Amino acid sequence: MTANIIDGKAAAERLRQQVGLEVSRLVTEYQLQPGLAVVLVGDDPASQVYVRNKGRQTVAAGMLSLEHKLDVAVPENELLALVDRLNNDPAVHGILVQLPLPGHIDEQRVLQAIDPAKDVDGFHPANVGRLATGDPAAMAPCTPMGCTLMLREQFDGALCGQNALVIGRSNIVGKPMAQLLLRESCTVTIAHSRTRDLPALCRQADIVVAATGRPEMVRGDWIKPGAVVIDVGINRIRFEGEEKARLVGDVAFDEVVEVAGATTPVPGGVGPMTIACLLRNTVVAACLQRG
Ligand code: GUN
């Protein structure tokens, strides 16, 4: 059996179309143009690429994009002052501070300074708590939200009762992913680096979400035939005998594709959905702020 390869690019394109329509409606009916402010500290090349893509897609969806680039050595209080200005700017409905931040800045302090109503990343403890308590107004983190939308599509909405295994317990992916799957009435297990006999646990899962940060860790013989496997990993690896580095996920794609019912490729799977979900969160935030 060969798995259905989930096309994240196409799914993201469909979602961006929906967001674009919603933005047009807000502009024409309410003269409300959603605005997204992205703050980048330093010049990490990967972060620069993400921020550029976010800006382009925000504008393409008809929204206002504001970019703030700060020097790597910016004092924490200056970053906090910028967040405060953005919190109070009525043209800004969503604020994203690109992570990771330089070591001298307390990441949690900055994330907690963002107005929860504008927290389109869903990282503020108020939104984490809302998601955990099942509040539908919770702003959910974009990567796990993108995974959830792709899973809903794969299961035709019938996620209820599925055994889901989330591998990874980060605040950005693993933990919110588990909450979102719980919200879909899955039976959720969270595995991590200390989990015993991960392959055996994995073989029981109808859904596997891999967010380990370890290249190609999830092998084909870990997968229950027909399971849906979502690969959140992005690892740049130079293989022996190859001149150029390649992007690989946390899943051994060539093996898993022979066993799974469906799986996401890297690149072209989860990645494109993350930014599309950010645009979606910005529109939701704008609507909620309008009241
Ligand atoms: N860096 C990598 N992924 C993310 C994300 O989803 N949000 C933010 N703010 N920074 C990131």
**Do residue 147 and residue 261 come from a single domain?**
yes
Name 66's bridge partners: 37
Tens digits of residue pLDDT in 79-107 = 999 999 999 999 999 999 999 999 999 99
**Do residue 182 and residue 245 come from a single domain?**
yes
Rounded to whole angstroms, how far apart are CA atoms 239 and 53? 28
Range of the domain at 88: 32-117
**Do residue 103 and residue 148 come from a single domain?**
no
1: pLDDT strictly greater than 80: no
Rounded to whole angstroms, how far apart are CA atoms 89 and 11? 32
Rounded to whole angstroms, how far apart are CA atoms 35 and 24? 13
| Binding residue numbers for NADP(+) | 168-170, 234
Tens digits of residue pLDDT in 154-173 = 999 899 999 999 999 999 99
Is the Cβ–Cβ distance between 174 and 184 less than 8 Å?
no
> What would the mean pLDDT of 52-69 be, rounded to a whole number?
98
The pLDDT mean for the chain works out to 97
| Binding residue numbers | 168-170, 234
> Would you state the pLDDT for residue 137?
87
Helix (H, G, I), strand (E, B) or coil at 257: coil
**Do residue 70 and residue 155 come from a single domain?**
no
Helix (H, G, I), strand (E, B) or coil at 38: strand
**Do residue 162 and residue 254 come from a single domain?**
yes
> Would you state the pLDDT for residue 136?
85
Counting ligand 1 atoms within 8 A of each CB, the residue from 68, 79, 96, 99 with the most, and so the one to mutate, is 99
Where does ligand 1 bind, in terms of residues with CB under 6 Å? 96-99, 121, 142-143, 172
- Total tally of structural domains belonging to the chain: 2
Q: Mind telling me the catalytic residues?
A: 54, 98, 121
Q: Is residue 180 part of a domain?
A: yes
Rounded to whole angstroms, how far apart are CA atoms 156 and 173? 23
Tens digits of residue pLDDT in 110-122 = 999 999 999 999 9
Tens digits of residue pLDDT in 243-265 = 999 999 999 999 999 999 999 99
ipTM of the complex: 0.97
Q: Is residue 176 part of a domain?
A: yes
**Do residue 150 and residue 111 come from a single domain?**
no
Q: Residue 260: give its domain's CATH number.
A: 3.40.50.720
Q: Residue 109: give its domain's CATH number.
A: 3.40.50.10860
Helix axes 174-183, 125-132, angle to 10 degrees: 30
> What would the mean pLDDT of 256-277 be, rounded to a whole number?
98
Among candidates 17, 20, 13, which has minimal Cα distance to 34?
20
Q: Which atom of ligand 1 is nearest to the CA of 278?
A: 6
Q: Which atom of ligand 1 is nearest to the CA of 142?
A: 6
Q: Is residue 219 part of a domain?
A: yes
Which amino acid does the sequence have at 138? Answer: A
**Do residue 219 and residue 260 come from a single domain?**
yes
Q: Is residue 133 part of a domain?
A: no
Q: Which atom of ligand 1 is nearest to the CA of 99?
A: 10
**Do residue 99 and residue 169 come from a single domain?**
no
Tens digits of residue pLDDT in 188-242 = 999 999 999 999 999 999 999 999 999 999 999 999 999 999 999 999 999 999 9
% of the chain with per-residue pLDDT over 70: 100
> What would the mean pLDDT of 109-138 be, rounded to a whole number?
97
**Do residue 164 and residue 226 come from a single domain?**
yes
